């Protein structure tokens, strides 16, 4: 009998071999075709997000970051959906789903070096950009009408419906909850305030049952996650 196999010699050369056994039991090895080396590169996942059935991930390949995405069915029987548009050049912290205007992302203004916020699900047709006060910043959160942006020790709430910055505050634990901003209260450890981002009015407070000031807040549905640097 005979068998075809893909093998590699001690030098690392790959080839397709035909192994054949003759009538007296001797096995011969005949090289049928050499297989040329191919250039390979390992990608690295730099960010991962899932928001309302949109899975997105940043893949860094040969030093270049690209945001990929896929629709995911989120019902009782989850199913893989269509591919979403790719966004070259987006790194971790520079994008977020959740706005009514589509994917929120940060690009750099080549003239000023400042961050610019654009929205939309088509990389070829973004919204009109809004120049932001910082450089090298990141998006902390997004909701249907707002984006929470941080740069240079400051945080800014951007009203994407009106295309303007409506709040400026020191960097602190903060997260968006629909049309509300939940933020730590530096002068009241263990308390977070609920704020109207457009007016700055405190509309409620929550006692989180600790004696520290949260440096990080995250929200999922009705659940609020908090973290203090000292704990």
List, for residues 130-172, the tens digit of each pLDDT value: 999 999 999 999 999 999 999 999 999 999 999 999 999 999 9
The model scores a pTM over 0.95: no
Report pLDDT for 2: 81
DSSP string, 87-147: EET--TTSEEEEETTEEEEEEE-TTT--EEEEE-S-TTSPPPPEE-S-SS-EEEEE-SSEE
Closest CA to 177 of 140, 127, 134: 140
Say if CB 102 and CB 120 are below 8 A apart.
yes
Handedness of CA 164, 166, 169, 175 (dihedral sign): negative
Checking if the pLDDT of 202 tops 90, the result is yes
Q: How many percent of the chain have pLDDT more than 70?
A: 95
Structural domain boundaries in the chain: 2-35, 42-154, 172-231
Tens-place pLDDT, residues 102-112: 999 999 999 99
CATH number belonging to domain 172-231: 2.40.10.480
Alpha carbon 55 to chain centroid distance?
A: 9
Tens-place pLDDT, residues 35-83: 877 655 568 888 999 888 899 999 988 778 999 999 988 666 767 889 9
């Amino acid at each position: 009998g005979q068998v075809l196999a893909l093998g590699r010699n001690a030098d690392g050369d790959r080839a397709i071999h035909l192994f054949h056994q003759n009538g007296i039991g001797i096995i011969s090895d005949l090289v049928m075709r050499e297989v040329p080396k191919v250039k390979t590169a390992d990608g690295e996942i730099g960010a991962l997000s899932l928001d309302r059935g949109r899975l997105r991930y940043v893949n860094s390949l040969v030093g270049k970051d690209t945001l990929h995405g896929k629709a995911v069915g989120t019902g009782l029987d989850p199913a893989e959906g269509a591919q979403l548009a790719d966004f070259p050049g987006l790194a971790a912290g520079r994008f977020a789903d959740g706005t009514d205007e589509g994917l929120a992302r940060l690009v750099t203004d080549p003239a000023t070096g400042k961050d610019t916020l654009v929205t939309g699900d088509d990389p070829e047709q973004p919204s009109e950009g809004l120049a932001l006060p910082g450089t090298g910043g990141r998006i902390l959160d997004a909701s249907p009408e707002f984006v929470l942006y941080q740069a240079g020790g400051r945080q800014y709430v951007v009203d994407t419906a009106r295309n303007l910055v409506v709040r400026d505050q020191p960097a602190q634990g903060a997260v968006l909850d629909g049309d509300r901003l939940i933020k730590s209260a530096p002068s009241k450890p263990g308390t977070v305030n609920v704020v109207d981002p457009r007016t700055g009015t405190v509309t409620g407070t929550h006692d989180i049952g600790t004696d520290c000031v949260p440096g990080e807040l995250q929200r999922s549905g009705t659940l609020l996650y908090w973290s203090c640097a000292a704990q």
